[in-house]
A = this chain, B = another copy of it.
Amino acid sequence: MTVSDKHILLMDGPDTKGLIYHVTAVLYHHDLNVIHNDEYVSPSGQFFMRTEFEGTFDAVSLLNELRSTLPEGITLRLNPKRKKNIVVLVTKEHHCLGELLLRYAFDELDADILAVVSNYNILQPLVSKFGIPFHYISHEGKTREEHEEAILRTLTIYEPEYLVLAKYMRVLTASFVSQFPNRIVNIHHSFLPAFVGANPYRQAYERGVKIIGATAHFVNNDLDEGPIIAQNVKEVDHRHTAADMATEGKDVEKIVLSQALKLVFSDRVFISGNRAIVL
């Protein structure tokens, strides 16, 4: 299959001499033009490389040639540069969802929001303004497993590449998470690892911090423990009550989530253990 769009080649594996040379040689001999190339070698000797290129090529033969040139153990992915399909999960708070909807409406999200799922129907009016399906799946009267089962049935309709937890305030089971490995992005309303768990702004107030923050991260089995994609902070002082911090924090949360999604959706984020490598 001959393609001619911009593509992104993602590689990672054990570092050995000549990896950049080997890859760029193959691209050069296919007459492909490297638009942007970035790589990183971790202290433990893991190599990561993201190469954005353009030109007309046959994807199968390019990948075959790369595989035969590169050493064993290097993982290769070749993605066309295009929007991702996502579903957004929310609970009651509107600020992150509203931000995503506006960006989507004006084609600034690098993703199509296929649907919004919520355990409350509070945000239905907001979502309906933007003509996106809203699925109200209450958790009331259901076990956690039953509730997640209902969500999964709905997700089956959309087959999203990523789930975005835009202030979805329920803990997901390991079973649910395992179905979307490195494909769930959450926004946590603290500067992780400070203040994991519930009520981080209340915790921040009690501790008397002078800076609050927000953290966008991948979700893995441990709550608030997945690889951090982006963080940002904001100064506060003793005059801020926990409620004031929550209000101020919303501006940080929504911007950090958007920035993290921009990185993820443009295939710039590698996972290395519990760390996110952003190339």
Contact in complex: A37, B20 (CB < 8 Å): yes
Chain B residue at smallest Cβ distance from A238? B277
Question: CB-CB < 8 A to A211: which residues of B?
Answer: 191, 213, 231-233
Interface-forming stretch among A4-12, A26-34, A68-76, A113-121?
A26-34
State how many angstroms separate the Cβ of A45 from the closest Cβ of chain B: 12
Interchain CB contact under 8 A, A126 and B98: no
- Report which A residues bind B (CB closer than 8 A): 17-18, 20-21, 24-25, 27-28, 31, 33-43, 94-95, 98-99, 102, 105-106, 108, 126, 129-130, 191-195, 206-211, 213, 227-233, 235, 237-239, 241, 247, 251, 255, 258-259, 272, 274-278
Q: How far is the CA of A146 from the CA of B273 in the complex (A)?
A: 45
Cβ A102 vs Cβ B98 within 8 A: yes
Select one of B102, B193, B275 contacting A238, CB under 8 A.
Answer: B275
Partner of A126 from the list B20, B105, B235 (CB cut-off 8 Å) is: B105
A235 partner residues in chain B, CB cutoff 8 A = 235
- A247 — which chain B residues lie within 8 A by C-beta? 108
Q: Could you say which residues of chain B place their CB within 8 Å of the CB of A17?
A: 28, 31, 33-34
Q: Is A20's CB under 8 angstroms from B40's CB?
A: no
* Chain A interface, >50% SS class: mixed
A37 touches B34 (CB 8 A): no
Structural contact, A276 and B207, CB atoms closer than 8 A: no
The residues of B that contact A237 with a CB separation of less than 8 Å are: 278
Q: Decide yes or no: A28 and B18 within 8 Å by CB, A233-B211, A274-B207, A275-B208 being known contacts.
A: yes
B-chain residues with CB within 8 Å of residue A18 when the two chains form the complex: 24, 28
Q: Do B195 and A210 touch (CB < 8 A)?
A: no
What are 15 residue pairs bridging A and B, where the CB atoms are less than 8 Å apart in the complex?
Answer: A17-B28, A18-B24, A25-B25, A99-B102, A129-B129, A191-B194, A193-B207, A206-B274, A210-B229, A211-B232, A233-B233, A235-B235, A238-B277, A251-B255, A251-B259
